[in-house]
A = this chain, B = another copy of it.
Amino acid sequence: MAGNTFGQLFRVTTFGESHGPALGAVVDGVVPGIPLTEKDIQIELDRRRPGQSNVTTPRREDDTVEILSGVFEGKTTGAPIALLIRNRDQKSSDYDALRDIFRPGHADFTYLAKYGIRDHRGGGRASGRETAGRVAAGAVAKKILKTFGIRVYAYTQAIGKVTAQSVDLEVIDKNPVRAPDLKSAELMILEIERVRGAGDSIGGIIEAVVKGCPPGLGDPVFEKLNAIIGHGLLSIGAVRGVEFGAGFAAAQMKGSEHNDNFSVEDKKITSATNNAGGILGGISTGADIVLRVAVKPTSSIASEQKTVTIDQKPTTVTVTGRHDPCLCPRLVVVVEAMLAMSILDALLIQKGLCPNE
Contacts and interface: CB of A to CB of B under 8 A. Distances in A.
A281 B126 contact: yes
Given A294-B248, A352-B351, A224 B234 contact: yes
A200 B80 contact: no
Given A68-B16, A77-B119, A357 B114 contact: yes
Contact of A4 (B8, B28, B314): B28
A68 B21 contact: yes
Given A4-B221, A280-B110, A314-B263, A79 B119 contact: yes
Given A9-B349, A247-B241, A15 B109 contact: no
B117 A75 contact: yes
A212 interface: no
A2 B255 CA distance: 30
Contacts of A164: none
A23 B70 CA distance: 11
A222 B104 contact: no
A100 interface: no
Dominant secondary structure of chain A at its interface with chain B:
mixed
A250 B296 CA distance: 5
Interface stretch (A43-51, A56-64, A304-312): A304-312
Given A109-B285, A252-B161, A6 B222 contact: yes
B2 A29 contact: yes
A171 interface: no
A237 B8 CA distance: 22
Contacts of A357: 114-116
Sort chain A's interface into a size bin.
35 or more
Given A32-B117, A69-B20, A234-B226, A243 B241 contact: yes
B105 A276 contact: yes
Interface string A78-91: 11111010000000
Given A201-B255, A244-B240, A26 B8 contact: no
Interface string A274-299: 00110111111110000000111111
Contacts of A224: 3, 234-235, 237
A149 interface: no
6 contacts: A69-B125, A202-B255, A205-B248, A240-B248, A255-B298, A261-B305
